[in-house]
Amino acid sequence: MAASGGVALFHVEGITPEARDLASVFDGDPKEVITITQKDIDALRFKDPDGATSVVFGCPQMTYEEAMGLGQHFVGKKTRLPTWFCMIPEASKRFKGAALYTRVVEAGVKVVDFCPLAGFSLRIGNKKLLTPSGKLYYYLSDTIYGTVKDCLKACGVQR
């Protein structure tokens, strides 16, 4: 929201702690209401299964819990595209101690602890990175956006 939405700070009703309900964060009725539909979001999504040349997870960098959740999809499989887990350094240290880490690496995933924006800004060749992060899609050139499921499908680990 901060990267692309024109807002530096935001409330999410029922999610961010100060915004228990709309009355807690609005002084009266909102001045303007903007409706975003699933169709709008889908319009951004990548639709060409051969369009991506690599897949990057993590922006903001992944937590241990995210890696443990996402890693399950790669167990016993091989990713068909270069795939990165960009993790928080401390989280990646912890993840490397988990049994799942070896399985994920065996599947061809590169587990790194750098920021994908810094790490992939300069890259050789006009590679199309597929990301499930709206933030990375906004900041990094030559990216395509998809859901986590779109990304896992592009890796060939989920149908």
Tell me the closest approach of the beta carbon of residue 6 to other proteins, in angstroms. Answer: 4
Region of 3-11, 34-42, 95-103, 145-153 interacting with other proteins (CB under 8 A): 3-11
Ranges within 114-153 binding other proteins (CB under 8 A): 121-122, 138-139, 141
30 sits near other proteins (criterion: CB under 8 A): no
Q: Tell me the HSE value of 93 on the side-chain side, using a 13 A CA sphere.
A: 2
Least distance to other proteins, CB of residue 125, Å: 13
State the residue for tokens 């369009």.
Answer: 51
Q: CB-wise, 37 or 141, nearer to other proteins?
A: 141
**Interface with other proteins (CB under 8 A), residue from 5, 51, 69, 89:** 5
Q: Are strands 129-131 and 143-145 parallel, antiparallel or unpaired?
A: parallel
CB of 43 to other proteins, least distance (A): 14
Q: Which is nearer to other proteins, 94 or 128 (CB)?
A: 128
Among 2, 23, 41, 75, binds other proteins (CB under 8 A): 2
CA 11 vs. chain centroid, Å, equals 21
Would you count residue 36 as binding other proteins (CB under 8 A)?
A: no
Q: Which of 87, 90, 97 is nearest to 62 (CA)?
A: 87
Q: Count of residues binding other proteins (CB under 8 A)? A: 12
Q: Which residues bind other proteins (CB under 8 A)?
A: 2-8, 121-122, 138-139, 141
